[in-house]
Chain A
Amino acid sequence: EAEVAQSPRYKITEKSQAVAFWCDPISGHATLYWYRQILGQGPELLVQFQDESVVDDSQLPKDRFSAERLKGVDSTLKIQPAELGDSAMYLCASSPGTAGIQYFGAGTRLSVL
């Protein structure tokens, strides 16, 4: 069964360092999402792509976060510089369109020390 792949699974970094997360969606899925999930809370949308275009990045802290999906397939989320409050699970999801079920990856657990 096709899955959304994310790497790394875990990342520990010091504050002010740069970190990057990678996501490979299910083949053929045009829509890709990045979420941040703080422990005990629901996921919060950071950015949504339709193919290579950003559809929604209204909740992305653009002073330190950036996301790209250059060829409309895999995607990278970057944080520079990381802050203590960025410690969270970063989830990637994909869907065939914008209204269907989203398939989530296992996530990247980020700890900023």
Chain B
Amino acid sequence: KNQVEQSPQSLIILEGKNCTLQCNYTVSPFSNLRWYKQDTGRGPVSLTIMTFSENTKSNGRYTATLDADTKQSSLHITASQLSDSASYICVVSGADMRFGAGTRLTVKP
């Protein structure tokens, strides 16, 4: 069973709308959690990285939250743009690194 579960598997929203992607993990011990954006046919690009003591971090229109007690993280995208269409991957590091399967976001005009 994967130790990092992401939901939803895919999501379609209209341009300008907000959305929230979820990441639940069971990785222990916990070191940090990262969100990556992966455009089709490209390598992942880091959006945010959070350690145990951080519960929110922003990068432009992207805001990540972390609840280390419940082992949940979310990535909120504000005022979505067509260029936000991509897969968003949650990666949790502990003794090793565990990747989620990603959420495929499609932003339509």
CB distance from B66 to the nearest CB of A (A): 16
Q: Do A109 and B44 form a contact, CB below 8 Å, given A44-B99, A45-B97, A99-B93? A: no
**Does B34 interact with chain A (Cβ within 8 Å)?**
yes
| Size category of the binding interface on chain A | 20 to 34
- Is B29 interfacial (CB-CB < 8 Å)? no
A103 beta carbon closer than 8 Å to chain B: yes
Closest 3 CB pairs of A and B: A104-B43, A42-B99, A101-B46
Q: Considering only CB atoms and an 8 Å cut-off, how many residues of chain B contact the other chain?
A: 22
CA distance A103 to B43 in the complex (A): 9
User: Which residues of A have CB within 8 Å of B97?
Assistant: 45
Q: Which residues of B contact A4 (CB under 8 A)?
A: 43
User: A30 an interface residue at 8 Å Cβ cutoff?
Assistant: no
Q: Max chain B CB contacts within 10 Å: which of A89, A101, A105? A: A101
Which residues in window 1-53 of B have CB below 8 A to A?
4, 31-32, 34, 36, 41-46, 49
